[in-house]
Each structure stands twice: as C-alpha cells, then as structure tokens.
Chains A and B, each alone.
Chain A
Amino acid sequence: MNVKIPNLSLVVLIGTSGSGKSTFARKQFLPTETVSSDQCRSLISDNENDVTVTKEAFELVHYMIAKRLKLGKFTVVDATNVQSSARKPLVDLAKQFHVLPVAIVFKVPESVCQQRNDQRTDRNMGGHVIRNQNRDLLQSIRSLKREGFRHIFVLDSVAEIDSVTIERTPLWNDRRSDHGPFDIIGDVHGCLDELLELLHQLGYTVTDSELSAPDGRKAVFLGDLVDRGPASPQVVLLVKRMVEAGLAIGVPGNHDSKLVKKLSGRDVNIGHGLEQTLEQLSHETPAVHREIREFLDSLVSHYVLDGGKLVVAHAGMREDMQGRGSGAVRDFALYGETTGETDEFGLPVRVKWAEEYRGSAMVVYGHTPVPQPKFLNNTVCIDTGCVFGGKLTALRYPEMEFVSVDAKETYCEPVRPVVSPDSEEQFGTAQQAHDSLLDIADVRGRQHVLCDGFGTVIIPEENAAAAMEIMSRFGADPRWLVYLPPTMSPAETSDLPDYLVHPAEVLSYFRKQGATHVVAEEKHMGSRSVVVVGKDAEAIRRKFGVDGGLGVVLSRSGRRFFDEIELEQALLARLSNAMDRAGFWSDLRTDWAVLDTELMPWNAKAQQLIQSQYAPVRDGATASLSARRDWIAAAAARLPEVDLSELQAKTDFQLDAAQRFGEAFSRYCWPVEKLEDYKLAPFHILATEGAVHFDKNHEWHMQTIAAFGAEDAAVLRATPWRKVDLSNAEECESLIDWWITHTNAGGEGMVIKPLDFIHKGKNGMIQPALKCRGREYLRIIYGPEYLLPENLERLRKRGLSKKRSLALREFNLGLEGLRRFVAGQPLRKVHQCAFGVLALESEPVDPRL
C-alpha cells in the first residue's frame, strides 16, 4: 500500500498499545518529527510507563506539537489516540495552525498486541486495558472523518503495516518552483472585452484557434471571474482554456465560490451580480454549466510562487496562513478577514490585515476595488474596479509594472464609492498614510536586519532600547530618517615619533586589502549632516510623504540640525537652486536627493561643548601653567642646588601645547549670524530617484558635487581631493606631503577611501573609508598635551578591530536603508536600518577613535 501524505500535516497514529506504532514511526519518520507520549512521560518523570504523569505528559505533547506546527514542520503524534477525546485537541491544533490532520489507523488483532505486551518486561498491564483500547479503536474508525481528519488510512494487518510505503506530496498551493514571470490580473467580473484587450496588450495571443503567451510568461487570475459583468461564462471558459494550455493559473474569488454552490444545487442568495451570471448561463447548455462548475470548484485557494517570494490570493493572505491548508485559510483567501460588523452601506467591515502584514513574501490580491493599485507593507491590491467603470489591471511580475485597460462602460454601480479609505484625509499613497506612525514592535527588542550582499546585522536588545530613547526624545520625524552615517575608523597608529597617526598606515591598509587606487579628501571640521533636498516641495511630499518644504538637515544621530526651520529652508533653497543651475536634477533624472555632508562651523552645533569644555581647558591651562612657570623660575633662582630644568622644560612644553590647543579649536569656530556664515560641504550623493549611488566611484561623487558646488560658493564649500595610484610611490609620497602641509596649517586631516565606494577584498568588504587626522587637530581629541612622549606612548595602545567591525556593519545598514527607501519599501523596513545605526552607535567603543 502506498500512502500519500501532504508534506505539511499533522499525522495522528491511532492504535492500541502493542500495535506497532512506535516501530512504524521509527521506520517511516525522522525521530525529531515524532512526538511520542511515552517519550514525554519519560522526559518529565524518567519513566515512560509512569501513568501518574499522563496529564502532564500530554500537556508537553501538545506544547511540542504547537511549536512545530507554528514553524510549519511535518509532525507525527505517537500515542494510542484511540479515544475521540484524545484526538480532539490534536485536530484543534492542526486547525489552529492551518495544517491538515491525517489519521493512520493500526488495526492489529487484539491477541497480537496482547502477546507483544506480555513479552515486555518494563510494562505490565492487565488484559482488559488492551481489550478496552481495541473496542474504542473499532468505534473510532467510522467517526474520524466527522472529527475533521482530511486523510484517513486504515492499515488492516501486520503485513500491511510492514509493507506500507509513505510518500509525501506538496500541498496544492505550493508552487514555489514556478518562477514565472507572471502577469497577475485583478477581478474580471465578466468583462470579457477588457480582458481580451488586456491580454493582447500583455502580448498574449488569444483566438479561437490559437493560444499563446509571450516569453514563457503565465497569467495569474486573482478570482472573481464572474458576476456583474456582461460575459461571465465566456470569461470562465477562456480562463479554463488558458489554464489547461498551461498558460495560466487561477485562484477562486468569493463570487466564483458562490456560483459553484448555486450550480451544485445549493440554496444561495441571488444578488450582487449573480443574477446576471445566471441569466447569461441560461443561454448555455448543461454541459457548459458542468464545465464551469467543475473548473471553478477545482481552483486552489491561494498560491505560493517564485520560491516563496510571491503569494496570490483573491482577498489577500495573512503571513501565518501562507502555504497552509485549512477551511480558515480558504475562507480568508475568498473573503479576507472581517470583523463581523457591517458599515453604513451594509457591507462587511474588513480587518486591515495588510496594515499589520509583516511577511517577506509579496501578497498580490484583489477583492476590494481601489482607484489605483494600492501598495501597503509588501502587499498590493490590483482590483481597479473594471466592472464599476474603472479599469482592469495586470501586474507584471517580477518587473513590477502595471498594465491597465479602461472599462468600456460602467456595468454596475458600486454600493460603496471606490476610494482608498486610508488616503482620504491625507495626501500621498496608502503606504505613506500608514507610515505616518511606526509600530513599537518593529524596533523593540533584539533586531535582525538582513543587509543585501553583507549578511544579517544583529541589533542587541539593550542597544535597541538605547536607540529608542534617543529616537523618541531627539529624533526627527522618522520619515526623514532614510539614512544615518556610519562611524569611521582611524588608521593604525604610527610608529613615527611625534605622530599618533600618519597617512602611510592608511595607504598600506588599502594596499594590503588589494585596492589599486584611493581617493583622499580633505576632512572638514564641522558636524556630519545628512541632507534631504528636493527640487521643490512637491517632490519632497511625493517621495517622503512629508509636507516639509524643501527637505531637512539632520545630524548624525537623526536630530534636526537647525532649531530655526526658516534658516534650514533658506540653506536648502540655496542648495536646491545650485543643483538646478548645474543641471543635477535633469542629469540624474530625479527631483530629490539625499546627500552626505559636513556642515560648518563646528560651533554651530558644538557651542555648548566649546563653552563648557574646550574654552575652560584652554583658559585654565594657560593661567595655571603660566603661574607654574613663574613659580618654578622663582624657586630655581633661589635654589641653584635643586635641578628644576626638566620641570621647567616640561612646563614650557605644556604652556605651548595649551596655546596650540586653543588655536586648534578656535580655527573651526566663527560667529554665525546669517545664512552665509554656514558652509555646507557635500561629499557623497547617497541616493536619488530610483538609484542608490554606492555603485559609482568617488571620482564621480566628487566631480558631480563640484559641479553644483561651484554654482554657489558662498554656502557650498568645495572639498579638495585627489586620486592616488597606490603602486606609484611618487603619488603616495606627494599625498603624504599634502597631508602634512594641510594639517600643519590647521586642517583637520583627510579621509581616504578606496576608489570604488564598495570594495571587496580577499576577506570580504573592506573599510569604506579611513580617517587620518592631523597632529594639531588631535589635541582636540586627546587633550593639549597628548604629544608628551609618555602620553603618546600610552595612546598608541588602542584596539581598532571593534571600531572597524562596527563601521562596516553601520555602513551596510546605511546602504540597506537607502536601497529599501529607493525601492519604495514600507517605512518600518527603512527605519529599521537607520534605527540600527543609532543603536550600534550606543555600543561602548572608545569615542575618540
């Protein structure tokens, strides 16, 4: 005997003690697939025959089954299961997790079981036990179907039990191996002309004699082929022909299901367009009636396609029901989820499953007419109400293009006006309306963010908690936060006396990692800022869903840089105009951009820090060290026998250091009174419409930026840069000279990057940039006196690996966030990345690196 079992099912073994269930399970299934009551008894009491723990053992059995089914794991229950009361919780569990319950009955003569039990030394049960079990078993067989078992196999003899083979079959809805490409077509409702036109536009040939699809494509019908429209029978027959020819698949809609009931002779409410269909059918033969009924009845509730990336169903499909089979799954596919209430038009109030959808598979569905295809959280409704005078829409997958045909007439007046209920009060798309508020579940606790081309970045729970606080207390509107910049690692420390870092180490890092060219850019000393800028306010509103003028300037922690919005907008206007004059918008075919920039002066944001920390150190050091110098000089004059020369020299050095420290930071400070006192220096064009520009090298970024920067030099500061061939010793030497000249003159230092934005070395992605800060500048970081030999020696001992690993993770989170944003993914998916960067920044890493 060959037993076919769906590969997602709960198999319930039913048989008396000694009927051979456990032996059978060991032979046929994986040990981990089998949940055995004996084993559970043993797990909690060390004795698999201890009947006093039966209740607890079955709690464990049910618990383990629930866990497995939730994960979609094939599961076998090895217990006697001879009583209906024992089977009921199992059927319930199968229903709860939408898997099929399967019964395999072991019908073995009582004497055989009794004999087997008698041979066991560890178990000694009276003869009545097996007799009673056998009686229960025989009574059970008849009622299994009624109890809800979808497949029932009765094995009649020991020989059959020994010889049976088990075959696992995929569920009907499992078409993951079908990769399309697909043309997914919304509710047709008998609109034959529009359907033919749409198919034609999509490149299908449909005539009486010929039927073909373009380039191996396949049409996917989302159901509701019938009712309301002028030619329901013809539509069904056409779709049937296409399905039989292997050119289409289809799922049923609620209207199709109702028609099947009617044609099967069941009593249904005639209405909602069924009356037209019946009228049209009255001109058809009974054979056609049967053909239509059988075809529609054969349709599978929903399909999982393209390796699990695509799900199609008439009314949508919740994540936990996808690819599963139960009455509830079918109901959901046909009707969606309803609250049981009805609205002012007498129609069922629908649960907004799409708003809560978090699945990775894209769900394409119809059922609810909308004026335009409606994207929300990786779901898309493409029923554009053709029969109501709207249009018939197809979604080309994976191209994600829409093809529509206008209705030739309004065949039916809608009961409820065709509008997207979410977008009434707000501008923008349904997704943007939904995204105006994020859910705490998307950021609370440990997070896993899958970054394409890099892997999963884990955000530990405590970091997420820290980020939640910062985001909530200080963060800008999350719709702006499509990107936060990563931290940047410094170079390894230098061995040269008098230097903590030196470009030589940076060059050797990149050389070792296999880069052939680098780009060195002067580092500006201001505040790292992310700038979102639009060509006009409309562009920003469309792309970001925020009524936010020309964009926003954000600090590296996601805070709005400017308290005065007018100032921010004035700066953005200057930037936007400069970009316009340089032809940026037209060249890049975009009307918005996200830029990585440095905003100067430093004191614009750091005034508080300068006043409370930097200035007092300068003033205190100068006063105190001057007094010390004088006191030592006086003492030295008095005490020629005491050698104070070393102390004197050191004090002089310190006094000089205090002076230089003061100069180092005051260079980056100037008064800000008007717009032109701010200087913005962009250095990366992160993203524009349809593009994340991490695929362009830094030469492109620098040149493109220079082009619009030149248009308004009063507020846009150019970044001097040069490209260096790492194999050319002269170029490398000259870069070092440039760095020394630049930093000695007070420059902060340089950022050196591999020429390509993303460079993969032998061991994967390498650091996207290393900073090399100048000798004078570092006083701001390590204190005025860091160059004292005894200080420098200690400062050289620093570990970079944690910083570098963090820099890479944050870089990839930033990139992933931009990718998701450009691809129009839901905000929570974009936010997760920016949030992740902020969370990782709360990691305790030496902040001076």
Chain B
Amino acid sequence: MLLIRTDYRPATDLGFLLHKHPGRMHVAEMPFGTARLLFTEASDEACAVAVIVEIDPIGLVRGSGTNGQDQYVNDRPYVASSYLSSTLVEFFSTAMSGRSKERPELAAIPIPLEFQIPAIRCRGGEGFLRSLFEPLGYVVTCEPLGSGSLFAVTLKGEVRIAEALLHLTVLVPVLDDDKHYFVDQTEIDKLFRRGAGWLSAHPKSEEITRRYLKHQGRLTREALTRLAELDGFPETEEEPEFIARQDRPNLHDARLDTVAAEIIASGASRILDLGCGEGKLIQRLMKSPQISEIVGVDISVQVLESAKRRLRLGEVMDKVHEKVRLVHGSLTYRDQALSGYDAAALVEVIEHLDAYRLESLGKVVFGEMAPKTVVVTTPNSEYNVLFPGLAAGKFRHPDHRFEWTRAQFNAWCEDLGQRWGYRFRTEPVGPVFEDLGAPTQMAVFSR
C-alpha cells in the first residue's frame, strides 16, 4: 500500500510521468493477488495515486511457488514489502527507466514528491529507517503502530520520479528485511540496475546490499566487490572492509584455536567434539598427525549435514578425512559408543542446556564417556557490560539458558571435578579487560 502525491504544478503531470491515466482504475493480476492503481486526487494543485495491493493470505499458504509463508495469520497482506516492489515494477517500469513520452523534460528534473506508506515493518527501527532515506534527501516522518517495529511512514523530497520509484523498490524490502521470492545471482544485477547512481555512495550501502540479497554471504561478497569497483577503485590492493573483517581473527576463532591447542597439548589422539556444530574445531584438529580419530557429535541433524559439507566428508577420501565421523547424538542420554576416548571438547555448549539438565550432562560426559581430558568453554557474563547493544541481564544468544560469572563457572567445575575425579584449571580466552576477565572462559579437566 502506497500513496504517491505531488503538488508540482500542474500536478496532473504526475499521470504523464507515471504513464497512467488519472481517470481510470488500473488493474494488474499479480501471482500473489490483485494490484490496483487509483488516483485519489487529480487537480492542478495536487495529484495523488494510490497503489493498492491485495494479497491473498490463503493463496500464500496453500499456493505453490510462494516461498516460506506457512501462516494464515500473517502481516504480509497489510504491510509494504517486496510484494509492493514487484507491483511498482509491474505498473511503473517505463517511469523507472526515466522515460516519458509526454513530459520528458519533467522526468529529468527533481520535483516535490510525497510517499505515504500506511504500514511497514522497519527492522532496525526508526533509526535505520531514517538512515536509509535521509541521505537520499527525503524528509522522513513516521509514527509507530503498536509496540513493535511497525510504522506508518511518510517521505517527502524533491526527487526525479524515476529515482524515487527505484529508491522505494530497493529500500522497501530492505527495510522489511525479507523477500517473498528466492534470491539468486540475478538479484545482484537487479540491485546494480536499480541502485545505479545512488547506491554506491549511500552510507548504508553495505547493509542495503546484505539485506537486499537476503543475507546470503556469497552473493553479498560478490556484490560488495562489484560495488567497490563501481566506485572507481578497481586497482586498489585493499579488500573491501567487509571481507577484511571476515578474515580478522575474531573471538570465535580465538576460542577454537585455544581449545585445539589444549587438546593437542594433552597428547590426545582420539577426540570427541561434543556439540561440534559446523565442524570448525574438527577442521583445526583433523590435519594434526597426533590425531587418529575425531567423532563430531551434535544434536541437530541439519547442522551435521552442513558440517559434512564443510569438511567435505564422503567427498574427499584421504587419511585426514577418514579420521572424522559425525554422529547425531545428545549429551543428556548415555551413549556407550562414545566411551574410551582421550579427550572431549565442549565449546560453547553447556549454556544451551537448561541448568537442571547439567547434572545429566555431567554424568554422560564425565561419568560415562570419561575421557582423560575435557575442555569446556562458556561465556563469561561479567564481560557482557562491555558489549554495546547488549542490555543488562540479557544473554549473548537467544538460546542461551544461562551465562555464568567466573565464580559460578568455577563452582560448577569444582563440583564436577570432585564428583567424577577430575583435576581442572580455568583460563580466560580473548582479551582480558581489567577486572571483568575475558569474553570467554575455559576449563581444562584431566584425570
């Protein structure tokens, strides 16, 4: 739902610019419903056209070809989203190309335009909404609808009509942060076509690109590289900031490096990676000649599938890959097949279990599997105050059931050690900040 309005005089020129006759209702049958154009005003002083998209909520769920909508109770029929973008392209493709048969001179210059969107979801809130449109010269007014991220938005500015339509086509789904269709390589081309002349200079170009490509890493990297080239720096040796940041050793990598080093230092040869996730620790360990066997255990079948792809198991057949086995398993059920290993790693695992299930985990790992060495890491909650944007009392990840202070972690280790006969020491992982400790804490148990 969108209303486009101008008080340029004569305002009725809007019809010529949009190639739509103000005296008629224009109808387009879209795959997801019916779209209509109606001029609500058409005088010399003011002209306004309403874009009304009727989305069929039953069709969204039952129809094939639509992507991922499985709820009848759905905001899609009511808020501006990629459905609106598709509709704009359907109605206004000529206007977007900057052509106008009747008013070519007018199409080439900025005119005062106003856009009313009665409801749009703004992922990132009002701040992000403003940061998208204000740099493009719009005056943004918005009003929250309810307590969530829903807003009624009005944009006003002096813009060329074609450019304005392209802004909306690109930025509405970016703001909504979703798309109703599958995104592939061709989406990059669309972005560059529609973003020509304004996107590369936009301060949020990176975030716009990421969201427009539905957060697909590979597509985003390719697009950002092309974007940098557009800017006229093709010769530069420097990688785009985004890529550079990916390669900088971050906390996650530091943690895995530290754990891998501990395991090697323990002299272990047969390893359990409990909660192996996508296999990043396994990747670090599998090449070591000291290691003869690694069993990666995870509770999620899906994650194991991606670990298998990542590690190229069953694809590369060599000594290194044959060491690795992935097992769907749980840390709250006894699994006799996992007894008798030299070392086990639990990297950022325990905080994903409810505290009252930790007793079972202790029995399973320390009592039943009973490897000689166990390395456990978990967040240090004291450090949380240093994370900007993490509200007090909140956890770093929505699935975390708890985050412990160093004292709490220590008490837990103490108890485990006593009960199952392990010695342990704790270490900080990551930069230590004054008396808050490091972001991650690690315990190395041995018996």
Contacts and interface: CB of A to CB of B under 8 A. Distances in A.
Interface string A591-625: 00000000000000000000111111111111111
Contact of B360 (A437, A631, A780): A437
Contacts of B57: 783, 785, 791
A707 B301 CA distance: 48
Contact of A611 (B148, B300, B333): B148
A677 interface: no
Interface stretch (B39-47, B240-248, B377-385): B39-47
A473 interface: yes
Contacts of B301: 465-466, 469
A783 B330 contact: no
B9 interface: no
A620 B75 contact: yes
Given A623-B119, A631-B40, A613 B73 contact: yes
B118 A626 contact: yes
Interface in A469-520: 469, 471-477
| A442, A613, A624: residue with the most chain B Cβ atoms closer than 10 Å | A624
B72 interface: yes
A184 interface: no
Interface string A422-448: 000000000000001111111110000
A545 to B, nearest CB: 13
Interface in A608-661: 611-628, 631-632, 634-635, 638-639, 642, 644, 647
Contact of B119 (A441, A615, A620, A785): A620
Given A631-B3, A781-B73, A560 B354 contact: yes
Contacts of B360: 436-437, 477
Given A443-B333, A631-B50, A791-B58, A619 B119 contact: yes
Chain A CB within 10 A, most for which of B52, B74, B78, B300: B78
Contacts of A471: 330, 332
Given A472-B299, A624-B78, A786 B72 contact: yes
A616 B39 contact: no
B239 to A, nearest CB: 37
Interface in A762-820: 780-786, 791, 794-795
Contacts of A438: 332-334
A439 B337 CA distance: 11
B299 to A, nearest CB: 5
Contacts of B353: 473
A620 B150 contact: yes
Interface string A337-379: 0000000000000000000000000000000000000000000
A603 to B, nearest CB: 13
Interface in B139-153: 145-150, 152
A639 B23 contact: yes
B147 A624 contact: no
A620 B145 contact: yes
B145 A638 contact: no
A616 B50 contact: no
Interface in B313-361: 328-336, 352-354, 356-357, 360
A468 B354 CA distance: 15
B148 A614 contact: no
Nearest to B50: A631
A509 B79 CA distance: 42
Contacts of B118: 623-624, 626-628
Contacts of B354: 474, 560
A442 to B, nearest CB: 8
B244 to A, nearest CB: 35
Most B C-beta atoms less than 10 A away, residue of A441, A560, A611, A620: A620
Contacts of B24: 639, 642
A795 B58 CA distance: 8
Contacts of B367: 437
A848 interface: yes
Contacts of B214: none
Interface of A, helix, strand, loop or mixed by DSSP: helix
B208 interface: no
A783 B74 contact: yes
B150 A616 contact: yes
A468 B334 contact: no
Chain B's interface size range is: 35 or more
Contacts of B299: 468-469, 472-473
B328 A465 contact: yes
A436 B145 contact: no
B166 to A, nearest CB: 23
Contacts of B73: 613-614, 617, 780-784
A468 B116 CA distance: 49
Contact of B72 (A442, A477, A622, A783): A783
Contacts of B71: 613
A384 B342 CA distance: 41
B78 A440 contact: no
A471 B299 CA distance: 10
B174 interface: no
A304 to B, nearest CB: 28
Given A621-B78, A642-B24, A848-B72, A616 B146 contact: yes
Interface string A550-579: 000000000010000000000000000000
Contact of B333 (A472, A618, A621): A472
B25 interface: yes
Contacts of B25: 635, 639, 642, 644
A612 B147 CA distance: 10
A617 B40 contact: no
Contact of A627 (B116, B150, B336): B116
A611 B335 contact: no
Contacts of B116: 627
Contacts of A442: 333
Contacts of A469: 299-301, 330
B203 to A, nearest CB: 28
A657 to B, nearest CB: 11
B154 to A, nearest CB: 11
B62 interface: yes
Contacts of A631: 3, 38, 40, 50, 52
A437 B364 CA distance: 8
B152 A623 contact: yes
B368 interface: yes
A781 B61 CA distance: 12
Interface string A444-459: 1000000000000000
A78 B78 CA distance: 78
A809 to B, nearest CB: 23
A479 to B, nearest CB: 10
Interface in A247-286: none
A389 B328 CA distance: 51
B121 interface: yes
A628 B145 contact: no
A399 to B, nearest CB: 34
Nearest to A847: B70
A638 B300 CA distance: 60
Given A560-B354, A783-B74, 13 more contacts: A437-B333, A441-B336, A443-B333, A465-B328, A466-B301, A472-B333, A623-B150, A624-B119, A627-B118, A634-B41, A781-B72, A782-B73, A785-B57
Q: Which 5 A-B pairs have the closest CB atoms?
A: A627-B118, A783-B72, A634-B40, A620-B78, A619-B146
19 contacts: A436-B360, A437-B333, A471-B330, A474-B354, A475-B357, A476-B356, A613-B74, A614-B73, A617-B74, A624-B118, A625-B78, A627-B1, A627-B116, A628-B1, A628-B118, A639-B24, A780-B73, A783-B58, A791-B57
Interface of A: 436-444, 465-466, 468-469, 471-477, 560, 611-628, 631-632, 634-635, 638-639, 642, 644, 647, 780-786, 791, 794-795, 848
Interface of B: 1, 3, 23-25, 36, 38-42, 50, 52, 57-58, 62, 71-75, 77-79, 116, 118-119, 121, 145-150, 152, 299-301, 328-336, 352-354, 356-357, 360, 363-364, 367-368, 399
